[in-house]
Amino acid sequence: MIPVLCARALLIGPLLLAASNLKAAEPFDPSIYDLNGNGKIDDGAEAIAALASLNQQLKKEVRAAPIPIARTSKGKRTTKSGLFLGRSLSEVDLLSDIKALTPEEGALFSYSRDFNGNNDTIVAEGALYFGMLSRADENDPRNHPYPENAVDLNEGWLLGTSFNIVDDNKPGRIVDQLNFYGGYQLLAAGGPIDANVFKAWLHHDGDFEFKSSVVSASLEWFPYHAHRALPLNFPQNVFSGYLRYRPKFLLNGQFSSVLDSGDKAELDSIDEVYGIGGEAGLDLWVFSDPISPFGNVDRVPLAHAYVGYKNAWGDLTNGDDYQDLFVAEADYYISNSPNITLTASYKNGTIPYSGEEVELFTVGLGVLLSP
């Protein structure tokens, strides 16, 4: 009960703090945006957030002005793409170069054998997708300087599949999801906070036996704010970079039409599912070495942990008007590589929108693939 109450508070707290931080202009502090500690603001995530904050600060000091959504550049745009395997499509954002399309956690695979009960349990959770990113070319002088009353736009497209299966070799799998996605993402830097990422998805939700069929459309909003007191969805380094933390917050909404309930009892007698919800949590990374300006920008952490809470309100599966899920995850990076982790995961509650009720503890391997 206590983790749930704390997580619910996290859903409201960031918005209240953000509102309080916007009441008065504060001096521009470039060190907030120097995530890798190399003494300068680099292209990509650091530059986008810093320029948006500085631009907003100047407008606060001179005059209040509306900020239309418009491209900043007349110059070239760069496009990058690749094939990726990770834990979730929801992790993907557009704050940097091709690495921004790379998920932060690898797909989870686990197998256990009960010899006494002559029973196997298989767990697989992940997403395989093709991603493409388009953004202004930093090397084209026509894309500078950052103009007033404009926002910078990064765009991304994703096409792929997500899977989540917990099969204990008994009738009726505990979790059985096989979904196909097409998505568009837009990053707009500027406005009252440093940046916003909007994600729109069209997806077909089903199962591995292709019995159920649900067509869905969903929207997600990720606000990014690099204020030192409120680094919303923006990582901050502490203790010389041995520890990195990031408060996570997002809002989402979904509408689904049930074409065939298949063997899923949670979809019986339901024609439509719709609701709004969100996620709030905290990411922590632990590193074996401090930040150095001499070449360890892409450090691989020793370990990562996440504690969060997901929920949804509306006309949902199972006839529910509210669903929530508590999530705790830990990853240990093997052989100083971001691609293979020893992963532990605990989930308790109802998976929002899909409706499976779970209380699962899983230990397995995390596998991440990227260009």
Print pLDDT tens along the chain (371 aa). Answer: 444 444 444 443 443 343 344 334 455 566 666 666 666 676 666 666 666 666 555 444 433 333 333 344 455 667 777 788 888 877 665 554 445 556 677 888 888 766 666 677 888 988 888 888 776 665 555 544 444 434 456 778 889 999 888 887 777 677 888 999 998 888 776 667 777 888 899 999 988 888 889 999 999 998 888 776 677 888 888 888 889 888 999 999 999 999 988 888 888 878 888 999 999 999 999 988 877 655 445 678 899 999 999 999 998 888 889 999 999 999 999 877 778 899 999 999 998 988 888 888 889 998 888 77
In this prediction, residue 344 carries a pLDDT of 92
Note the pTM of the prediction, 2 decimals: 0.71
Residue showing tokens 């409706």? 355
| Residues 213, 262, 273: CA angle, nearest 5 degrees | 55
Residue 294: both structure tokens together: 């001499």
Predicted pLDDT of residue 24:
42
Signed CA dihedral, 184, 186, 258, 264: sign only: positive
Identify whether the C-beta of residue 22 lies closer than 8 Å to the C-beta of residue 192.
yes
Q: How many helices (H) and strands (E) does the chain have?
A: 2, 15
Distance CA 336, CA 287 (A): 10
Q: What tokens does 295 get?
A: 């070449």
Reduced to 3 states (helix: H, G, I; strand: E, B; else coil), residue 81 is strand
User: Residue 62 has what pLDDT?
Assistant: 37
Any residues with CB less than 8 A from the CB of 43 and at least 6 apart, and which? Answer: 97, 138
What's the pLDDT at 111? Answer: 81
Scanning the structure block, which residue is given the tokens 């019986």? 268
CA-CA distances (angstroms) from residue 358 to 87, 140, 350?
A: 18, 51, 6
pLDDT at residue 297, rounded to an integer: 55
- The SS3 call for residue 338 is coil
Q: Do residues 72 and 51 make contact, with C-beta atoms less than 8 angstroms apart?
A: no
| Structure confidence at residue 122 (pLDDT) | 85
Q: What's the token pair of residue 238?
A: 């502490």
pLDDT at 182: 92
Asked if 259 and 214 count as a contact pair (C-beta separation under 8 A), the reply is yes
For 55, what's the count of Cα atoms within 13 Å in the CB-facing half-sphere?
25
Handedness of CA 311, 267, 359, 102 (dihedral sign): negative
Q: Counting Cβ atoms within 10 Å, is residue 228 exposed (0-12), middle (13-18) or buried (19+)?
A: exposed
Per-residue pLDDT at 153: 64
How many C-beta neighbours within 10 Å does residue 259 have? 14
CA distances 152 to 44, 63, 66, 96, 146, Å, are 12, 20, 15, 13, 8
Q: What is the pLDDT of residue 91?
A: 67
